Amino acid sequence: MKISTKGRYALRVMVDLGLHNTGDWIRLKDIATRQNISEKYLEAIVKTLVTNSLLEGKRGKNGGYRLLRKPAEYTVWDIISVTETGELAPVACLEEGAETCPMRNECPTISMWQDFGNVEREYFSKITIQDLLDKAAGKAAANPKADPAETALYISQLSACL
């Protein structure tokens, strides 16, 4: 019943990229520093985001990553559905390649698990990265800092506790 670190980190990357969505390429090193996450570990996570066409990477000097769409066009479900490794189905017999349970037609709980999977999907599909950015901005405004520079730093690190 826990969301994995991988999924949370992926969200943090997306929010970080949303906060620095200038069109320029953002280095993974910078994201890792801001988010205080191991760069090496982030590599694997970002890779799945790239292969699932959630963002694009560019190699070489001045390379990095950037969003492919607008923050409002990513749902939270988009991200966690590709990063949650052990598949999202709440029980094993609903997984993709699972061999069909011999008692599936009579199982009293299968529909409960299926429905719950749908509830999960619907809930997280209604929240977009833009919503999280708005929430961050709103909270930042509600907690004003004396120094504008401090505010900027603060906002750039806001997704640290995702």
| Contacts to a second copy by CB under 8 A | 1-4, 8, 11, 15, 76, 84, 86, 88-93, 101-113, 115-116, 119-120, 123-124, 127, 132-133, 135-136, 139-140, 143, 154, 158-162
Min separation Cβ 145 and DNA, Å: 28
Name the one range near DNA by CB under 7 A: 58-66, 72-80, 101-109, 152-160.
58-66
User: How many CA atoms are closer than 13 Å to the CA of 146, on its beta-carbon side?
Assistant: 0
Give 130 or 157: the residue with its C-beta nearer to DNA. Answer: 157
Contact 12, 159 (CB under 8 A): yes
| Interacting residues with DNA between 72 and 91 (CB under 7 A) | 85-86
Give 43 or 122: the residue with its C-beta nearer to DNA. Answer: 43
Q: Of 127, 123, 146, 126, whose CA–CA distance to 135 is shortest?
A: 127
SS3 142: helix
CA distance linking residue 13 with residue 34, whole number of Å? 10
Min separation Cβ 82 and DNA, Å: 13
SS3 4: coil
| Interacting residues with DNA between 88 and 147 (CB under 7 A) | none
Sign of CA pseudo-dihedral 65, 71, 76, 82: negative
* 50 contacts DNA (rule: CB under 7 A): yes
